[in-house]
């Protein structure tokens, strides 16, 4: 009831869907195993959302629904109860919403907000994720105790850098999230959930890497990433 439902460009969605699907297949054919999320689960609705041209101004209006938890600046909370989403890759945001909606990622708080009809259809999802991706990143996220930053850096470079990038910048096209500047407590919780199998939508390559780490090593990696 709060937002005008946009239908611009939806009539061309089948054309975009075919083009996007072809690009994804080509991309998969020429990239290494870790270069795209194995669990991307790119269905027709998701591909159509990714292909739409976003309206960032409308996305800003829709974001009012998100601000009560993620805050008006998209910086979440330093205690890690809500993550930094400002500046996250648009493709990653769309994928995570799709995973939560399909229950491939357990997040009951987010369930009501992942239904396209709650934000104006797939155009609304396209718009709000584009707006979030354009937001200024949090300059002072919550960090750990700082005791094992070098250990965290070493582990990251050995086990994570190949997919998430030298500066943990992630990869929009491959659906790998930006990790730098995320709250330490949130990162640590997600790493543990991936390790324990509670978070089911993680890349299988990442799951294997995370399972090899102790709690102290997970903490060190999360602390290192939060300070980048």
Helix/strand/coil percent split, the chain, to 5: 55, 0, 45
**Full DSSP string of 163-227:** HH-TTS--BTTTTBPP-TT--HHHHHHHHHHHHHT-STTS-HHHHHHHHT--HHHHHHHHHHHHT
Q: How many residues does the chain have?
A: 228
Considering only CA atoms, which of 150, 174, 168, 163 is closest in space to residue 225? 168
pLDDT of residue 159 exceeding 70: yes
Question: What is the pLDDT at residue 40?
Answer: 54
Q: pTM to 2 decimals? A: 0.83
CATH class for the region spanning 10-134 = mainly alpha
Phi, psi torsion values for 176, nearest 5 degrees: -95, 125
pLDDT of residue 172 exceeding 50: yes
Q: How far apart are the C-alpha atoms of 36 and 95, rounded to whole Å?
A: 12
Domains 10-134 and 149-226 in one fold: yes
Question: What is the pLDDT at residue 43?
Answer: 77
Segments making up each domain of the chain, as ranges: 10-134, 149-226
CATH superfamily of 149-226: Cytochrome c-like domain (1.10.760.10)
Query: What percent of the chain stands above pLDDT 70?
Result: 82
Considering only CA atoms, which of 48, 127, 138, 141 is closest in space to residue 90? 127
Tens of pLDDT, residues 199-220: 999 999 999 999 999 999 999 9
Q: Taking a C-beta distance cutoff of 8 angstroms, is the pair 199, 115 a contact? A: no
Question: What is the pLDDT at residue 38?
Answer: 45
Tens of pLDDT, residues 63-101: 999 999 999 999 999 999 999 999 999 999 999 999 999
As beta bridge partners, residue 171 has 176
Q: How far apart are the C-alpha atoms of 110 and 106, rounded to whole Å?
A: 9
Tens of pLDDT, residues 176-193: 999 999 999 999 999 999
pLDDT, average across residues 118-129: 96
């Amino acid at each position: 009831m709060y937002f005008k439902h946009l239908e611009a460009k939806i009539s061309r969605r089948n054309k975009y869907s075919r083009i996007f699907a072809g690009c994804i297949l080509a991309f998969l054919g020429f990239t290494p195993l870790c270069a795209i999320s194995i669990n991307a689960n790119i269905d027709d609705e998701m591909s159509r959302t990714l292909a739409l041209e976003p309206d960032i101004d409308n996305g800003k209006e829709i974001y009012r629904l998100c601000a009560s938890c993620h805050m008006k600046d998209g910086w979440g909370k330093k205690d890690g109860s809500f993550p930094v989403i400002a500046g996250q890759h648009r493709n990653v945001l769309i994928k995570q919403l799709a995973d939560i909606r399909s229950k491939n990622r357990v997040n009951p708080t987010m369930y009501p907000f992942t239904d396209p009809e709650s934000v104006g259809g797939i155009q609304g999802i396209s718009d709000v994720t584009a707006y979030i991706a354009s937001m200024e990143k949090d300059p002072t996220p919550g960090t750990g105790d700082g005791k094992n930053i070098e250990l965290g850096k070493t582990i990251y470079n050995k086990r994570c850098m190949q997919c998430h990038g030298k500066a943990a910048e992630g990869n929009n096209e491959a659906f790998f999230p930006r990790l730098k500047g995320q709250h330490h407590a949130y990162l640590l919780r997600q790493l543990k959930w991936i390790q324990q199998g509670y978070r089911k939508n993680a890349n299988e390559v990442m799951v294997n890497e995370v399972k090899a780490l102790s709690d102290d090593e997970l903490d060190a990696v999360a602390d290192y990433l939060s300070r980048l």
